[in-house]
């Protein structure tokens, strides 16, 4: 390992776990670029973002989504 790399790693280890995660993601993006999406997906994403921005679609907290999914799974599992 080079001295510069050792110094970077030493400094990176001083970061919080969240900061290290962000660093990893940002570095990975420089060597593993995200493959382009199919044009249909690009259009769908643009449509959904526009709907959110125009307030045509209301967001829902992830906790509520997961709770609803758990209720559905439990209801299905109990034969209801």
Banded model confidence at residue 35, pLDDT cuts 50, 70, 90: confident
Q: Mean pLDDT throughout 2-30?
A: 94
Decide: pTM greater than 0.75.
no
Same domain as 31, residue 41: no
Banded model confidence at residue 37, pLDDT cuts 50, 70, 90: very high
All residues at 6 or more sequence positions from 54 whose CB lies less than 8 Å from its CB, including other chains? none
What does the pLDDT read at residue 78? Answer: 66
How many domains is the chain partitioned into structurally? 2
Q: Are 23 and 12 in contact (CB under 8 A)?
A: yes
What 3-state class would DSSP assign to 37?
Answer: coil
Q: What percent of the chain has pLDDT over 90?
A: 84
Which domain does 56 fall in, by range? 37-80
C-alpha 44/C-alpha 65 separation (Å) is 21
Same domain as 50, residue 79: yes
Q: Are 27 and 20 in contact (CB under 8 A)?
A: no
């Amino acid at each position: 390992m080079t001295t510069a790399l050792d110094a970077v790693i030493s400094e990176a280890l001083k970061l919080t776990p969240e900061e290290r995660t962000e660093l990893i993601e940002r570095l990975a993006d420089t060597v593993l670029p995200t493959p382009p999406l199919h044009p249909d997906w690009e259009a769908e994403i643009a449509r959904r973002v526009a709907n959110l921005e125009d307030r045509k679609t209301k967001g829902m907290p992830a906790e509520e989504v997961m709770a609803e999914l758990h209720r559905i799974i439990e209801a299905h599992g109990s034969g209801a």
